[in-house]
Amino acid sequence: MTSRAEMLDGIRSSLAKSAPFEGLYHHLQPSPRKSVRHASAVSAAELAKRFSSELTTVGGEVHRAANEELAVETICEVLANIGAKSVAISDLELLKSIDGADIELIENPSREQLFVVDAGITSAQLAIAETGTLVLRSATERHRLVSLVPPVHICVLRTNDIRPTMHDVLEEMSNAIDPTITFITGPSRTSDIELTLAIGVHGPKRLIVVLID
Amino acid sequence: MQAQTANNFDKNARAALADPVLQGALQNLASTFGTRRKAAIATVPDWEASRETARSIKSEVLGKLDKYLGAFADNAEANGAKIHWAKDAKEACSIVTGLVKERGAQMVVKSKSMVTEEIHLNHALEAEGVEPVETDLGEWIIQLAEETPSHIVVPAIHKTKRQIAELFAEKVGTDKDANVDELTATARRILRQKFAEATVGISGVNFGVAETGSILILENEGNVRLTTSLPKTHIAVMGIEKLLPKFTDLGVFLELLPRSGTGQRLTAYQSIITGTKKHPDHEGPEELHIVLVDNGRSKMLAHPVTRQSLACIRCGACLNACPVYQSVGGHAYGAVYPGPIGAVITPQLQGLAKAKQLPYASSLCGACREVCPVKIDIPELLLHLRAEITEGTSNGAVTDEKVARRRGESIAFRLYSSMWKTPGRYRFFQKLARTSQRLVARDGKIGKVSGLIASAAPPLGAWTAWRDAPAVAPESFREKWERKLKNGGKAE
């Protein structure tokens, strides 16, 4: 097997061969870095509006709730609407207060349970207005599988956590990067057969966001 | 179809042009992706500035790849990942199969990855008794059909819905008339079973971040998320060129890649994985292996022009824009990477001798350069490779044949220049051509010339083997001008 040193030496010797030609190809050299664009200051209300409209465009659904209590109520209504009997939840405190008469709430679901529940509920730590994207950070919540395996993903998001662009979100996270970060923009989709759109190929078929103002 | 090689492009292309089913399948590609891409790039405030930023970042990384690759490995390992180094396909395959077998897995789930296609990982796994299950819908289709991908982004673009429905009917027992939603639901049902059982997942990598050791993978279906999060062990296979210096550099590439590839502003999912989980209560990979694959890439660093090939982010935009790809599809290129980028990468990966037709599989129209999100000058690369082929600079060998051809070309051009040297000679040869072309010219052009005439006028045969030559006009502009002047400048 090749060692690290051998691989890096191979790279170095190739780069050394190119040295005499570098001066002839100025247009292929790095140019000075420009700062990335930042959207001008936008109010939380406007960001929420943009986020909702972008997410709806890609097939997601958005419900608004004025506070946590009402958000839980909204979640219960959604669960009733989709006829959910068993629901997987992340370890988010708020979700423990979900109270449905005939709904089984499963925290820390097993692999087997994940595949049979009717929905999974999590929150998102950040969001991107420009593309209607949810950002799930694994260091704060156990939501990696609950947001993925069940056929419906219900996600709680606070208006204050919406940022204008991807650049803003990356910069905000760059000081403390979670072991896994997942960006979610709408339900699972594919166009692999004749470029025809089909929803819900492997991930959730429905993405429902409950936005808390 | 499977026997097509990179050295048979001429033959493959002719077969593809004569295949009505393939032509039908390719019909929508250019217009659908072209329109979606245009709409998507219009939402970026300054598309050109983003392209230039991305080109520059890639140029920076590739120019100091040893430094960035070392930093990436250090940081990934500090975060709990295990790094493996593979100089070629054989080593990469043996590392991956070794890891899989050590864990006692008889089946692995795989998400779409071009580099695992390049190293033929599935064959290596099968040879060791491990069943690789492709989980991307398009990849699963071609795995069922026992074919190879014909497009970087939509691997089964060469197949029609009808063919896919028939394939599913035969292999997994669905209805012969199933629609796209039913076919998709079938894939979901069958592959979920595999995800539930798998203990090892294998993925590719879109971007690696040197300063953090993170890897990022984009997708739409959710199979990458399932592959990387359900099994205990995640093996990521990554070409050494995939690096970006900084975490925040991901921003501009996430702006460019989905828009260029599928015309989406962002694909449905991006997973950023930085090592293994740090806390027992956290979710996250328990075991992450990153296999760094060279397999001919470092050789491309040896010249600024060829080095550009490594900036490619595999969006497929050049395929969709290319009039040659649009006409012949991906399989004609006889290699894992088709289209304009394939025509420059394949000869460099496999060696010019094995793929010397590919740099000529282009009209040099420049559509690929125009759409490339990282501004790779593909026509320049094609010409560079053509020069290497004719001059033999790739291996330094100057054969007798090449010496003879150079001498022949030099005589031919001296002859041409003497024909054009004085107005008298020019007029004489023009008249001579006008008379002699009567044998071959039809409707103002000269079609394919062969046999005796081709051997009498050597360049004509070679030229018209591939395209029409314009015929000499019955009356030149100068002749017309003089005739009209004699008539007192009046129109006829």
ipTM attached to this prediction: 0.97
Residues of chain B with CATH 3.40.50.10420: 44-295
Closest chain A C-alpha to B384 CA, distance in angstroms: 13
Q: Binning pLDDT at 50, 70 and 90, where does residue B64 land?
A: very high
In what helix (H) or strand (E) does residue A207 lie, and over which residues does it extend? strand A206-212
Nearest beta carbon to residue B141 from set A2, A15, A192: A192
Instruction: Quick: pLDDT tens for A151-173.
Output: 999 999 999 999 999 999 999 99
Nearest beta carbon to residue A192 from set B138, B247, B271: B138
Chain B residues inside the 8 Å CB shell of A111: 196, 230
Look up the CATH superfamily of B44-295: NagB/RpiA/CoA transferase-like (3.40.50.10420)
Contact call for B274 and A178, based on CB within 8 A: yes
**Angle of the B378-391 helix axis to the B339-350 helix axis, nearest 10:** 40
pLDDT score, position B396: 46
Instruction: Quick: pLDDT tens for B404-432.
Output: 777 888 888 898 899 889 999 999 999 99
Instruction: Quick: pLDDT tens for B69-120.
Output: 999 999 999 999 999 999 999 999 999 999 999 999 999 999 999 999 999 9
Question: B interface mutation test: which of A174, A192, A196, A199 has the most B CBs within 10 A?
Answer: A192
Q: Is the pLDDT of residue A126 over 80?
A: yes
Nearest beta carbon to residue A12 from set B32, B66, B221: B66
Nearest residue of A to residue B309 by CA position?
A: A28
Nearest residue of A to residue B268 by CA position?
A: A185
Q: Between β-strands B445-446 and A180-184, what pairing exists: parallel, antiparallel or unpaired? A: unpaired
What are the contacts of B34-43 at 24+ separation with CB within 8 A? Answer: B34/B320, B34/B321, B35/B263, B36/B262, B36/B263, B36/B264, B37/B259, B37/B260, B37/B263, B37/B317, B37/B320, B37/B371, B38/B263, B39/B263, B40/B258, B40/B259, B40/B263, B40/B264, B40/B265, B41/B259, B41/B260, B43/B259, B43/B265
pLDDT score, position A85: 94
Contact call for B85 and A1, based on CB within 8 A: yes
Chain A residues inside the 8 Å CB shell of B275: 179
Tokens of B201: 């997942």
How far is it, in rounded angstroms, from Cα B276 to Cα B284? Answer: 6
Q: In 10 A of CB A88, how many CB atoms?
A: 27
Q: Binning pLDDT at 50, 70 and 90, where does residue B485 land?
A: confident
SS3 A153: strand
The CATH classification number of A42-212 equals 3.40.50.10420
Contact call for A203 and B225, based on CB within 8 A: yes
What global pTM score does this model have? Answer: 0.91
For B204, phi then psi, to 5°, come to -95, -165
Nearest beta carbon to residue B161 from set A1, A14, A193: A193
CB pairs under 8 A between A and B: 258
Nearest residue of A to residue B79 by CA position?
A: A179
pLDDT score, position B398: 61
Given a contact cutoff of 8 angstroms between Cβ atoms, the answer to whether A169 and A135 are in contact is yes
Report the amino acid identity of residue B65.
L
